[in-house]
Copies of this chain bind each other. A is one copy, B any other.
């Protein structure tokens, strides 16, 4: 975290994080976690509550409110990378049948899934948009830390999740790693040849994301706000 100019806002945002992390929290717990006096925490929590970022349940404890959900979804729907990566991710899933993820650096030492296209196998890896995984020990994390050589792919077997093999390639904006494109596959289903094939596909698709032509409709789970609400699918 960089130097922060407004202590009061800092404190309130920390409290917001605590409420969201814990899901349900009492005043004194939140105050303790934030290292604030209960009366200070109360006032700040009341401010968050006044704008619907948090709410109080029947027992007087604090839980996240609708405003944080709403702004989070808005933020995600406006994320340009999500739109740009849609076609590439769909192609990955079509070519491999495996779940495909787009992730960026998250808060602290984490990576954050910002788009997902699920695989088509009946046994497949499943996760969710908005999930954080550690930078350390994950393929996407290694890529986001700049550890892939010459834009190549990174493989992690037995990383942050058991029984899966993760392969990731960097989405580059110039020299900077903007995101990681990854596939996460049940380990029983991949040998070295398949890993290499998927790795090469990831590298190719990742390099198509920035500089790609203006996207059509995204096909990820984060549907575009402008999408026609009556969706017609192509015939099977």
Point out the residues of chain B lying under 8 angstroms from A184, CB to CB: 229
Which of A121-129, A147-155, A208-216 contacts its partner? A121-129
Are the C-beta atoms of A10 and B64 separated by less than 8 Å? no
> Complex formed: what's the CA distance from A104 to B66 in Å?
8
> Complex formed: what's the CA distance from A1 to B67 in Å?
12
A183 within 8 A of B: no
Are the C-beta atoms of B9 and A47 separated by less than 8 Å? yes
A95 within 8 A of B: no
Given contacts A50-B10, A51-B13, contact A130 B76 (CB under 8 A): yes
Are the C-beta atoms of A164 and B230 separated by less than 8 Å? yes
**Which of A6, A71, A104, A223 has its CB near the most chain B CB atoms (within 10 A)?**
A71
Point out the residues of chain B lying under 8 angstroms from A9, CB to CB: 8-9, 12, 44, 47-48
**Chain A positions 160-198 with a Cβ under 8 Å from a chain B Cβ:** 161, 163-164, 184, 186
Indicate which residue in B5, B51, B104, B128 contacts A225 across the interface (CB closer than 8 Å): B128
Interface majority SS on A: helix, strand, loop or mixed?
mixed
Interchain nearest-CB distance for A147 vs B (Å): 20
A94 within 8 A of B: no
Point out the residues of chain B lying under 8 angstroms from A17, CB to CB: 51, 67, 71
**Chain A positions 116-139 with a Cβ under 8 Å from a chain B Cβ:** 122-132
A35 within 8 A of B: no
Name the residue of chain B whose CB is nearest to the CB of A222.
B128
Point out the residues of chain B lying under 8 angstroms from A158, CB to CB: none
Point out the residues of chain B lying under 8 angstroms from A24, CB to CB: 78
Supplied contacts A69-B72, A73-B128, 13 more A-B pairs, CB within 8 Å? A12-B13, A13-B47, A20-B75, A21-B74, A69-B114, A70-B112, A70-B130, A72-B73, A73-B130, A122-B232, A122-B235, A123-B231, A221-B221
